[in-house]
Structure 1
Amino acid sequence: MKNTPTDPVPVLQELIRCRSVTPAEGGALTYLENLLSQHGFVCHRLVFREEGTPDVENLFARIGSGAPHLCFAGHTDVVPEGIAEAWTHPPFAAEISNGYVYGRGACDMKGSVAAFAAAAIDFIRGTRKFKGSISFLITGDEEGPAINGTAKVLQWMRENGHVPDHCIVGEPSSAEKLGDTIKIGRRGSLSFTVTVEGKQGHAAYPHKADNPIPKLARFVDRIAAAKLDDGNEHFDPSTLAVTTFDVGNPAGNVIPSRATAKFNIRFSTEHGFASLKGWVEDEVAKITAEMGGAWTVSATEGADAFITEPGRFVGLVQDAVERETGILPKLSTSGGTSDARFVKDYCPVLEFGPVNATIHQTDERMAIEELRATQAIYGRIIADYFSAEL
């Protein structure tokens, strides 16, 4: 007798009803753990903490042993709902209306979690034995500091013999239609704070002061106009955005003693943290030689750029998406950061999930048709993965 397919809709509804605003677990991991345990997954609840940051609950679940090992990585934490009264449907009620499931996290990314869980359960129920393993790495810290979540779970996985061969992160990667985009990498992110010290004085006697503003303005103008690179096969040209220029001076007749600028660089694999820091320091040195000033530069490393080169794994996912949707997905590295930045240090990783049109918005929602189509795609990926020699 053929098994009835698992419906991802009630799974998504149950997850949405768990108020798991970062870092609260809200019952979402407990629900998922119970669901997967019923179908043979061995589950581990992992709580990590670090001084000055909130404790975070995570879940690792695995069925099978040995290779090939396919991991699905994702998160059940969500951003705050904002003004609840502005929602057409309560943000944690998971109400269905006009073919959509409404609720915070519907797209980002409880929908993907529900779809992959349903697909994995159906595969296991329909396959008496399969060679390899399926696992879930689910964190409650993706939308927050990302300190006590995926990065530490991956360390635990390495220490306990659970490093996967390949990983799919269920971020909502599709732009306009389900299946139009797969993320195979991400740009790096590096933020700078640059301060110039001067000498305060009266605006009527500028020769008695040392104005830091022209110095910093010269520097900002140069870096903002700089061409960092031309991009490459998988990345657009790197970008630099100045985000603030501040002197903390409300008076129109006072020359300030300090000026500070902040800027962020989103960079391709043409660069790394060290090379960009060196470039900024060189530009500061040039302005110092021209105009003087006491400069300080601090940098905050966000994420390094990475790419999963197209090959058999990427091709398998592309083929599965095309066969289910009729769309050959574009391979992209656009957008900000995701937890794939941690996974890439352990195994090849890509991101695939539903359309991201309503993520983090009021009335976030996911079409039931799209949810079930996402389940079908994940199901085909799983089936193809365990029948292929990667």
Structure 2
Amino acid sequence: MESAARQDAISMVDLKAQYRTIKPEIDAAIERVVNNTSFIMGPEVTGFEQAFTQVSNACFSVGVASGTAALHLALLACGIGRGDEVITTPFTFFATGEAISQAGATPVFVDIQPDTYNLDPELIERAITPRTKAIMPVHLYGQAAEMDEILDIAKRHNLRVIEDAAQAHAAEYRGRRAGSMSDLACFSFYPSKNLGCYGDGGMVTGNDETLIKRVRKLRDHGRMSKYEHDELGWGYRLDALQAAILGAKLPHLEAWTEARRSHAARYNELLAGSDIVTPAARPYNRHVYHCYVVRTPRRDELAAHLTQAGIGVVIHYPLPLHLQPAYRELGYGPGSLPVSEACAQQVISLPMYPELTDVQIERVTSAVKAFVG
């Protein structure tokens, strides 16, 4: 019985299922890199950068070591440093705020919209001070933030905009791709992402060649030539092996994205009429559903119920950045950003990956409805 239960378990993300569908392509990409022994930079990285530029609709792409490295380098390339402030959301993975701090700046957290969970543009201007240098919206869960309003505010106050698009590969806002709308944008290729490698990887995209050249230089130890460096940089290069894997996966991204969107529509249909709050996708957005996130005041009990039923769930995210112990010195306390705090206590991510079957979705939603009534 116990063995059967394990066999019937539904994972939050099933990377093995994806690998099985494209095994020959992945294996060939890995073998190619091993045979040519060009493990650092080289044609695999350049080729993937060029291909990803087409996907993001930006003019340039620079492969880097991780999504966090992408954020860090984008901030540095934009001249963000000690004494500066960057406005961002507290309802995101820790790396968003961490990168701002690593650049020497201070994150200023602004609350979110209660339905999309993205940065609320109506609250941004009151947070701007003479020290504010940039706004960093996060396209959370695969849905783009309200970029027109954010870009307008930035233009009026002479601020940079850096998109955290770590969860938004191929997402769109009013027909424009995530990664193409701001000064610079940052993607993650963490294994569970919509486009993920077999380790860590990231990308910085943008349309300003000067900024991109600086990112390209800083990712590789600030070097002018092999052994000449005119400034301090970082070892933030994208591995050739990861680039090759990503290059093999990239042609499948569109089909995988449409599968995710179809799964989300099916979830919405089956959960309609229940007490569960399903995702709010703006009609002008292409939501790519990195996560399928629902909301209920009985979140922890639902999580336990689904886990007991052999259904994988994750909470993205249980503690907003402004309440993290690492940011205690910033002085935010409980109740300071109420929407983020309420969402952190109520959201739960259900299984979502392209290879998910309709039978599995029906089983998940049946278990959810059996709990909420």
TM-score, scaled to structure 2 = 0.22
**Taking CA–CA contacts closer than 8 Å with sequence separation of 6 or more, which of the two structures ends up with the larger relative contact order?**
1
Higher normalized strand content (fraction of residues): 1
Please say which structure displays the higher CA radius of gyration. Answer: 1
